Chain A
Amino acid sequence: DIQMTQSPSSLSASVGDRVTITCQASQDISNYLNWYQQKPGKAPKLLIYDASNLETGVPSRFSGSGSGTDFTFTISSLQPEDIATYYCQQYDNLPGMYTFGQGTKLEIK
């Protein structure tokens, strides 16, 4: 099974800061990597799909990059409404398996 290692597990930053979260796969997953935002008491929201594609309606301050085993999620200028937990998720290119990272809890400093 593919393991996803997400870091850091928590992060404190100031409004306007550039924030970066990383996710590493235990084997090559090409670009089959998504990023979600989850606010307390809410369902996750898909922000980035296939490593670098922004979902419709998602602000452009969010971005993703990477391929193979190493991936990065970036918020270019942190806003108060971005406070949430963020998860990476890999999926098999054919139906089979999804695996989530452990999550990164983002707080305002």
Chain B
Amino acid sequence: QLQLQESGPGLVKPSETLSLTCTVSGGSISSSSYYWGWIRQPPGKGLEWIGSIYYSGSTYYNPSLKSRVTISVDTSKNQFSLKLSSVTAADTAVYYCARPSDFWSGFKHWGQGTLVTVSS
């Protein structure tokens, strides 16, 4: 059974870089054709897609965040990662990693989410 698990610091200072990793188990990132995604949700608010990555390293980003986002993949560790630079309090959110049900489609598999707070 596919499982995704987010990990990383729960507290980041303003202007610094938020870094999260999603570890995939029960399936191989490199042997399956999916765009793996990051989605976030500020407390009490809606969902926002951040970006997605293919095992080859091909990426797509939300234009509203593109200048600050880098998503990378490490197939040897079966992980993909998110970096968001120059964070502010507005970046405080629960961050989810997810996998679509097909190559590029609805997100069927989700991690449990991790809360990242931006505060000094």
Which A residues are within 8 Å of any B CB, using their own CB?
Answer: 1, 34, 36, 38, 43-46, 49-50, 55, 87, 89, 91-92, 94-103
- B contact residues around A89 at 8 Å (CB): 47, 106
Q: Is the interface of B mostly helix, strand, loop or mixed?
A: loop
- Contact between chains at A43 and B113 (CB < 8 Å): yes
Q: Choose one: B35, B96, B106; the contact of A43 (CB below 8 Å).
A: B96
Taking the closest CB of chain A, its distance from the CB of B26, in whole angstroms, is 16
Distance between Cα atoms of A44 and B101 in the complex (Å): 14
- A contact residues around B104 at 8 Å (CB): 91-92, 94-95
Instruction: Identify 18 residue pairs between A and B in the complex whose beta-carbon atoms are under 8 Å apart, listed by A's number.
Output: A1-B63, A34-B105, A34-B106, A36-B106, A36-B107, A43-B98, A43-B111, A43-B113, A44-B96, A44-B107, A45-B110, A49-B101, A87-B47, A89-B47, A95-B54, A100-B48, A100-B49, A103-B47
Interface centre among A1, A87, A95, A102, by most B CB within 10 Å?
Answer: A95
- Contact between chains at B49 and A98 (CB < 8 Å): yes
Distance between Cα atoms of A38 and B103 in the complex (Å): 23
Taking the closest CB of chain A, its distance from the CB of B73, in whole angstroms, is 15
Known: A49-B106, A94-B104. A44 touches B47 (CB 8 A): yes
